[in-house]
Amino acid sequence: MSLGTATATDVLVSTDWVKQHLGDATIRVVEVDVDTAAYDQGHVPGSLGWNWTTELCDTLVRDIIPQKKFEELMSKSGIGNDTTVVLYGDNNNWFAAWAFWQMKVYGHRDVRIMNGGRKKWVAEGRELETAVPSIAPASYKASAADLSIRAFLPEVQDAVKQKSAVLIDVRGPQEFTGEILSPPGLPETCQRGGHIPGAKNIPWAKACNDDGTFKTADELKQLYGAAGATADKDVIAYCRIGERSSHTWFVLKHLLGYPNVKNYDGSWTEWGNLVGAQVEKP
Amino acid sequence: MNAEGYTRREQELSGWSIWLETYRLGDQYFCTISTVDPGARVARAEGPTREDAERIALEKASRWLGQTRRFTVNP
């Protein structure tokens, strides 16, 4: 890939690559959108669609998808432990990255993102189909959850107190300052606006070009390095519910190869509702 | 089918910068509106013409964006 990093070649594929591999039985292409109806409008031929609101979470407890449910999702999607999974979606692969992060939590070896996502595929005038493919189920066994890439509240509180990690708030600047409590047009989901004390604001989408593809490794290093997020530091990314920050986590962990990056998926819906939690403004 | 006539433009709506993305698939036009920053989808619509799809999406988006409260940021 154009990023020119060793890790990037393992996790990013181009729209051309996907086109060339349509029908390859060892590869499963899956669309994950913010807009859960987008898949039905037309999708990459042969691809499946996952609904992040029902299939990539625990629908009873606030949590990521439980291991058993994850295994069921993979199995019914025809994904075995050795399947290459290519994820793509709308909004610069926002929720594709959320799915990617969860697949890595459960140890899937070969998962990749289609660079540019749905936007690039559509903009290039490529084929779309509306039929949902018939998939032969597979058998899938997940690994125990890898919590080295997930941060929970106590760890974040400790990082704030000890200044032991670089906190990156990847929400928009107006969410960061507390001018608004959620992205414009979306329901407010917190009691207080602002950000976690000491966090730096680097909106997630700054990692992407206009066509949805990721910026070059040099550009990304410059972007995050300017805020003090370098490879030698522990980094924790957060947003509102953990999905935008999974995009930034993907960039830092897999495109830049930072060893210690975590996604705090509790994010602002946890911190901004927590009784007694310190909030910094602007 | 192939997506045809993809366009993307930025404009202001209810005080927010938005992206308007439209394309044709078969005999329908699809329009999606998202905020420029942070890139959240606000509305989606389809119609028999580009103008119809964009008009319906803009109406929906205007309603949603108009509900966004802005707070004074205290130092």
Q: What is the pLDDT of residues A162-219, one digit of tens each?
A: 999 999 999 999 999 999 999 888 889 999 999 999 999 999 999 999 899 999 999 9
Annotation marks residue A239 as catalytic: yes
pLDDT above 90: percentage of residues in chain A: 91
Residue at B71 is within a domain: no
Residue at B16 is within a domain: yes
The set of residues, in sequence order, having a beta carbon less than 8 Å from that of A206 and lying 6+ positions away, is A223
B4 pLDDT exceeds 80?
yes
The pTM of the full predicted model, rounded to 2 decimals, is: 0.95
Residue at B14 is within a domain: yes
Which residues lie across from A166 on neighbouring strands?
A235
- To test the contact with chain A by mutation, choose from B37, B42, B67, B72 the residue with the greatest count of A C-beta atoms within 10 A, namely B37
Q: How far is A160 from chain B (nearest CA, A)?
A: 20
Q: Are A80 and A138 in contact (CB under 8 A)?
A: yes
A247 pLDDT exceeds 60?
yes
The predicted structure's pLDDT at residue A4? 45
State the residue range of the domain holding B37. Answer: 4-66
Please judge whether B73 and A178 are an interchain contact, meaning their C-beta atoms are less than 8 angstroms apart: yes
Residue at B55 is within a domain: yes
Pairing of strands A235-238, B16-25: unpaired
Number of domains comprising chain B: 1
CA distance B37 to A139: 41
Question: Residue B30: what residue type?
Answer: F
3-class state of residue A243 by DSSP: helix
pLDDT band at A35 (very low <50, low <70, confident <90, very high): confident
Out of A125, A184, A282, the one facing B68 most closely (by C-beta) is A184
CA distance A227 to A105: 27
Residue at B37 is within a domain: yes
CATH class of residue range A6-145: alpha beta
Q: Where in chain A is the domain with CATH 3.40.250.10?
A: 6-145, 148-271
Average pLDDT, chain A: 94
Nearest alpha carbon to residue A231 among A203, A265, A205, A254:
A254
Which residue in A57, A190, A208, A239 is the catalytic one? A239
| Cβ–Cβ contact A205 with B under 8 A | yes
Residue with tokens 């779309």: A128
| Cβ–Cβ contact A40 with B under 8 A | no
Residue at B74 is within a domain: no
B36, closest residue in chain A (CA to CA): A205
The predicted structure's pLDDT at residue A2? 43
Average pLDDT over residues A125-134: 95
| A chain contacts of residue B4, beta-carbon cutoff 8 Å | 125
* Structure confidence by residue, pLDDT tens digits, A60-98: 999 999 999 999 999 999 999 999 999 999 989 999 999
Nearest alpha carbon to residue A49 among A37, A39, A57, A41:
A39
Question: What tokens appear for B34 in the block?
Answer: 């998202």
Residue at B33 is within a domain: yes
CATH 2.120.10.30 fits A148-271, yes or no: no
Q: Are B67 and B16 in contact (CB under 8 A)?
A: no
Q: How far is B24 from chain A (nearest CA, A)?
A: 10
Neighbours of A274 (CB within 10 A): 16
- To test the contact with chain A by mutation, choose from B4, B7, B25, B59 the residue with the greatest count of A C-beta atoms within 10 A, namely B25
| A chain contacts of residue B58, beta-carbon cutoff 8 Å | none
Please judge whether A185 and B67 are an interchain contact, meaning their C-beta atoms are less than 8 angstroms apart: yes
